[in-house]
Structures are given as structure tokens and as C-alpha cells.
Structure 1
């Protein structure tokens, strides 16, 4: 089945297109992590470096064990200077905890900083670059619109913090639910960045089919950042295992006009419609307040109607008694 899946992935790369633009993909081994993980964490010649509680076994890079208060990561030593790329991540999240009694999740990074511990799934807060998170524990009490585990993407410019209490909602570009824990089959995450468009898909159903998660245009990421993966446990825990990260260079045919439009060098990560997203979340917060006051005034109105009704009924009953004398 693994052979069939790899043939499917390779053939897929030659027939996929982006908005009518033909693409070819080429595996870049210097940016890829896969078995047998030779020299990781012990050899200076390795392209990858371990951090924190992560360990290497014959079958995976275990970012965290199923133990409380652990964090670990693996980072590329080589900055990536590819304009268009595609990252396929093979991972596994499993543990003894039952539903909603596990945490906290796994993150895949393309950032300016590397090898820095922190609270954002084992990486530093106020990061600069792209983070794609597989969040397995809901911190926000009212998460009606979300089913966890949940996959989301965020772009940071070094001044934007990750809101743990709201599970990253204020800075989320988009996301989808992904039931990835304790599965018997393989689970994959697909991240593509081409022509300043970010696409994330998942393959978690054991059917070897990609499912759309998010597709955001106008994402501007600088060259020369580092790929990495990290994970974190707190009071709750899980095994967060990374089996492989395979990076493909995409060759995209562009028109002359497109080439001229993209000549401007990107130095700070940004998203063209980020303000619209912020306004959406602010409106979302206001809608909650509006709902509260709507319910409050409705209850007051109902109470007032009951009081008026009782007064009217009392007057009517009094006048009725007088007619009998």
C-alpha cells in the first residue's frame, strides 16, 4: 500500500495545476526528512537538528512522549530559497487519553526563527513566518463551530501573539476539523505555497485522497526561512510522532505580467486580506455580546408583559366582582 501511495503522489505532481498553470514537482532531499534519519541530533553533517524532549527511533521522530509537560522539535539547518514549494508531512498522534483528555498538538513551521522553545506547540510566540497547527485540545469553552482536533494556519510578522484562550481564532487564516488521533492507518498533511497562494489539505481517512482544508490567496512569505515541526504537552499529553517531511520544488509556468508583479521582494510575512479577517473575528465577538443583550432584553420584555397581564387581570377581576353586588 505504501508503494501504491507513493506512485499516486508522484504521478499526482505532474498532473496537478494551479488556476490553469501547469506544474512539475521535484523532491528536494536537502529540505526533506525521512527514514532512516541518519545523524539527526548527533551529527553536525545532518540537515536536521533536534530540540527539547524529541528523540529519534527507527520508525519516527518522536517530538513528545505521552507524558505531561514535554515539548520537542526538529528543525532544518538549511534556509529554503524556493519560491514555490509543496510540503507533504506524514505524522501520527496517539496516546492513552480519551476524547478531550489529550493534548496539546503538533505544528509545522516555515519561519525566520528556529530552535527556540516556547508556548506555541513547542515553539516561540510572536514568530515570523507560517505556522500550520494540528490542535487536539479546545481551550476556548464555547467552540460551537469547531470539532477538535482542528487544523488551522497562521502567518505571523514577529509582533502578533498566538491567542491560546481562543485557540488561535483571532489570527486564523482558515482551518478544518481533522479526527487524527489513535488511527490505525497513516495520516498526512499537505501544504502548498505557489504564486503567493497557500493551500492546506489532509489525508486522514485511509483512502489515499486529499481533502481540502483551506485555500488562501495573497499570502506573502519571504525566502530564506526554515522548515520545522514541534509539539507540546501540558496537563494532558499525547505521543506526537513525525514519520517524514518531504519538500518538493514546484516549477510553475508564469506569464510575463505575473513575473513582473512578483518581482517585488517580500521581507515581512503578510496576508493581503488580514484586516478583513480581523474585522470578521471582531464582528464575531460582537455578535456574542449582541446575542447576550438580545436574550436579556427578551427576558425583561417577557417579565414586563407578565406583570402588565397580571395587573390587567386584577382590574378585570375586581370590576367583575362589583357587577354582582
Structure 2
């Protein structure tokens, strides 16, 4: 009887577990473990299965630190397995924190690109990349005239020909973006990146309460298969800890209208981009670092000379009036 009762309890618990699992997992989503990175990190401290680390990246039992809170650091983690799913969703748990109160930076990026393991100036990755870059820019002393606050999340679709203007936060080539105050939180931040049926959607949970907010939602996006997932970060004169806690990639079931399409042969593209802004150099001292045209210089010199002439004429008139007044008093 005791054995029968124990067996019955085990069966009930197992059925309960299956029901809970069915409630939590979307049947149209399949976790791709070869692209995911979750605790416990096997091989912590030196290597990660199916992932490569570069630069100053450090693997611990609780997080993967792309850069420590020190100046001039770069680090990255890259998946070794290329993605074969034309429709996918990436869930990221991360935290960015440091000792800086008003000055901090630079930020980190999530990548889905043709290239991997390439050190460079764009948050620790190369410029002129091919694929998708999602940038988490925390540089507090942000550059140029912008209508957004920092930290700032933005996306760029690149076919290898576009330059990411880091000095202008990439606003000349960004797909879209949003303000996201994720720095120095007492909880991890959750971001979901979904590419489904040529639509790119980015949502975030900043409060840690499971309340999702839309950040980016763009259609007519082309991203090929065969690219690699990765994350990188960089610090300059300002610094922060950039920590990755987990990466989960899901394969999504989509309706392929063209069964003969070879997704690996497509080129990354986007139909819509944010309106471009003029590149304005940073101020140097009290003046902006720009060359004055001859017309503008002539106008400035003319105004100065005219002002001096007016001052001289007024001074002469006042002096003559004073002399004439003194003569009248003498006679």
C-alpha cells in the first residue's frame, strides 16, 4: 500500500509538472540550446561550450562580465554555431552597473552578424559589419544634437557598407531606438528580440515586474540565416561593468510563402531608417570645430568695422558737443 501511494504521488507530481510546462512554453517556440547561454556556465573561468570569449571577458558562476568597471576595456562572447532558423527570438538577461554617478560608459551590443570574433571600435566589434547590431549605449556625455536621453537602445541593419558613427551614437544609420534607463538597477534587465516574418521587434522589461514595453517595431527587414549570435562591450575614458546573465534563443514556426527561398543567400536590408541628422562636430573650447566661409568671415569683419566706426562717430559727436557747450559757458 505504501509503495502504491508513493507511486501515485509521483505520477500526480509528474502530470502537474507537464501541465505547468505546457502553460509556460509556447508550442510554436523551440529553445535552441546550441545558441543559448545559461547558468550554470560549464567551464566557468576559462571557456564556454559552443561559445568563444575574447578580450577582457571573465566568466563567473553568476554572470559573464564582458568588461569590468575599468578604462579602455573590450570583451565579447560569440556563439560557435551559425543560426539555421529563418524566424527566431532571443531573450537576454543583463545588468550594467558601476561606480560612476554622472559619468559612465560606453555600453554593449547584441549581434546577429556574418562575422564573428572580430575586435573593433563599435562596442568591441568591427565597423562595417554584415547583419544586425542592437546597441545599448550608456555613454552619459552623449555626442551631438539628439532628441533622446541616455541610456539608449538602437538597432542598425548593415550590409557591410555602412559606417557606425560612434561619435554621434549611430543616429545617422539607425533603424529605430528608444530611451531605456537600465543602468544601476537592483535587478536584471530583460530584453526580447524577435525576428519573425520580416518583422523585427524589440521589447524590454526595465522594472523587473514583467511589464513589457515596446522599443523597436519595424517591418520589411531582411536577415539571412547562417549568421552568428554574439555580445560585446567596450569602455573608454569612462567605464562600467557589462554583465550577461543569460541568452536564450528560440526557433519560431513561420509561414514561408516561398518554399524555394534560400535564406542563407539573402542580403541584410531594411526598407525604413530613422530620418538622418547632420553631422555636427563637437565644440572645441568656446567655438565649434568648423571652418568659416569667406562670406561669413567678411560679414563678421564688416560688422566689427561698422561697429568700431559707429563708436568713433558717436564719440566725435559727443566730444564736439561738449567742446561747444564749454565755449558757450566761457562767453
TM-score range relative to shorter protein: 0.7 to 0.9
Q: Say if 2:65 is the partner of 1:62.
A: yes
Distance in structure 2 (CA, Å) of the matches to 1:111 and 1:245: 16
CA contact (8 A) 1:95 1:238 kept: yes
Gaps spanning 5+ residues in structure 2: where?
A: 1-18, 281-295, 297-331
Distance in structure 2 (CA, Å) of the matches to 1:37 and 1:183: 23
TM superposition score normalised by structure 2: 0.74
Distance in structure 2 (CA, Å) of the matches to 1:232 and 1:271: 27
Counterparts of residues 1-325 of structure 1 (less than 5 Å): 11=23, 14=26, 24-39=28-43, 42=46, 46-99=49-102, 101-138=103-140, 140-252=142-254, 254=255, 259-260=257-258, 263=261, 265=263, 266-274=265-273, 277=274, 280-281=275-276
Q: Deviations over 1:304-325 (max 9, x none)?
A: xxxxxxxxxxxxxxxxxxxxxx
Distance in structure 2 (CA, Å) of the matches to 1:190 and 1:73: 20
- What secondary structure, in the 3-state scheme, does the structure 2 residue paired with 1:169 have? coil
Q: Give 1:165 deviation, angstroms.
A: 1.8
Q: CA RMSD in A?
A: 2.8
The number of aligned residues is 265
Distance in structure 2 (CA, Å) of the matches to 1:209 and 1:262: 39
Q: Deviations over 1:239-280 (max 9, x none)?
A: 00000000011113x2xxx51288364432111234xx4xx2
Q: Deviations over 1:24-43 (max 9, x none)?
A: 11111111001111136745
CA contact (8 A) 1:129 1:157 kept: yes
CA contact (8 A) 1:200 1:214 kept: yes
CA contact (8 A) 1:48 1:76 kept: yes
Distance in structure 2 (CA, Å) of the matches to 1:226 and 1:233: 23
Question: Which has the larger Rg?
Answer: 2
Kindly tell me: are residues 138 and 195 of structure 1, through their superposed partners in 2, closer, same or farther at Cα, counting changes over 3 Å? same
Q: Give 1:12 deviation, angstroms.
A: 6.6
Gaps spanning 5+ residues in structure 1: where?
A: 1-6, 15-22, 287-295, 297-325
Partner of 1:322: none
Kindly tell me: are residues 199 and 106 of structure 1, through their superposed partners in 2, closer, same or farther at Cα, counting changes over 3 Å? same
Distance in structure 1 (CA, Å) of the matches to 2:271 and 2:25: 28
Q: Give 1:145 deviation, angstroms.
A: 1.2
